[in-house]
């Protein structure tokens, strides 16, 4: 007879252990964020990079869990939100824009997760093509998901690094008064995919709202039919 799984076993599944390490690294990056950009960037980047490995481990060891999926999404949302909050302080004239980005990110992912789970789908990543080919491709193709998410984080990292004054003149010179460095090119290179991620967030929000409304319609119509059925007999 196979050994029954306990709550403790789920908490100690390999992908969840990777998730805990992501949280620790993200918290450590926050400690360096204000004064040590290099250490912060490395810690933050490693935390984000491990996001790809917990999913691989879940599939490899057959340890996919609802707890792991929620832990993964919550960690993603919290780490990104913390970095954007710091950017809001660094670029105060853009604070409203950053607040809107955080709101869109949190709202779209929360509604998507709730809508998918309330529909009986075990994973929020199982999006069918009838919900839109962009959203389906984003969630069902692991390569697309990784590239878009990585570019999104790297764009924010570029903005973070750019907020610190350069200690040495940039080797690439200036363009219209803007210092050129690897940070500038990192931001320019990842900007299109960052923009795509925001578009996907909007699509995800609208799609989730549609799913929830459809569920409301089904439940209300069923209640009306059930209430009227005795009268018709």
Give the residue numbers marked as catalytic. Answer: 76
What is the SS3 assignment for the chain?
Answer: CCCCCCHHHHHCCHHHHHHHHHHHHHHHHHHHCCCCHHHHHHHHHHHHHHHHHHHHHHHHCCCCCHHHHHHHHHHHHHHHHHHHHHHHHHCHHHHHHHHHHHHHHHHHHHHHHHHHHHCCCCCCCCCCHHHCHHHHHHHHCHHHHHHHHHHHHHHHHHHHHHCCCCCCCCCCCEECCEECCHHHHHHHHHHHHHHHHHHHHHHHHHHHHHHHHHHHHHHHHHHHHHHHHHHHC
Task: Characterize the bridge pairing of strands 178-179 and 174-175.
Answer: antiparallel
| Cβ atoms within 10 Å, residue 197 | 18
- Can you read off the two tokens belonging to residue 13? 């599944």
Tell me the angle at which helices 182-232 and 133-140 cross, rounded to the nearest 10 degrees: 110
Whether the CB-CB separation of 194 and 155 falls below 8 Å is answered with: yes
């Amino acid at each position: 007879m196979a050994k029954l799984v306990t709550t403790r076993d789920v908490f100690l599944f390999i992908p969840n252990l990777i998730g805990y390490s992501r949280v620790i690294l993200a918290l450590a990056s926050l400690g360096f964020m204000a004064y040590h950009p290099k250490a912060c960037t490395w810690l933050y980047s490693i935390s984000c990079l491990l996001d790809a490995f917990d999913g691989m481990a879940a599939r490899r060891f057959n340890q996919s869990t609802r707890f792991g999926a929620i832990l993964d999404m919550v960690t993603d949302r919290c780490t990104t939100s913390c970095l954007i909050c710091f950017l809001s302080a660094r670029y105060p004239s853009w604070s409203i824009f950053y607040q809107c980005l955080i709101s869109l990110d949190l709202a779209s992912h929360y509604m998507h997760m709730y809508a998918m789970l309330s529909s009986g789908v075990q994973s929020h990543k199982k999006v069918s093509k009838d919900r839109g080919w962009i959203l389906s491709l984003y969630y069902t193709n692991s390569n697309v998901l990784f590239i878009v998410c990585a570019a999104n984080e790297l764009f924010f990292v570029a903005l973070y690094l750019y907020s610190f004054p350069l200690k040495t003149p940039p080797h690439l010179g200036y363009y219209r008064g803007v210092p050129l460095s690897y940070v500038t090119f990192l931001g320019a290179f990842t900007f299109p995919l960052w923009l795509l991620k925001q578009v996907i967030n909007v699509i995800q929000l609208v799609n989730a709202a549609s799913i929830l409304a459809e569920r409301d319609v089904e439940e209300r119509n069923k209640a009306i039919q059930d209430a009227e059925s005795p009268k018709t007999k």
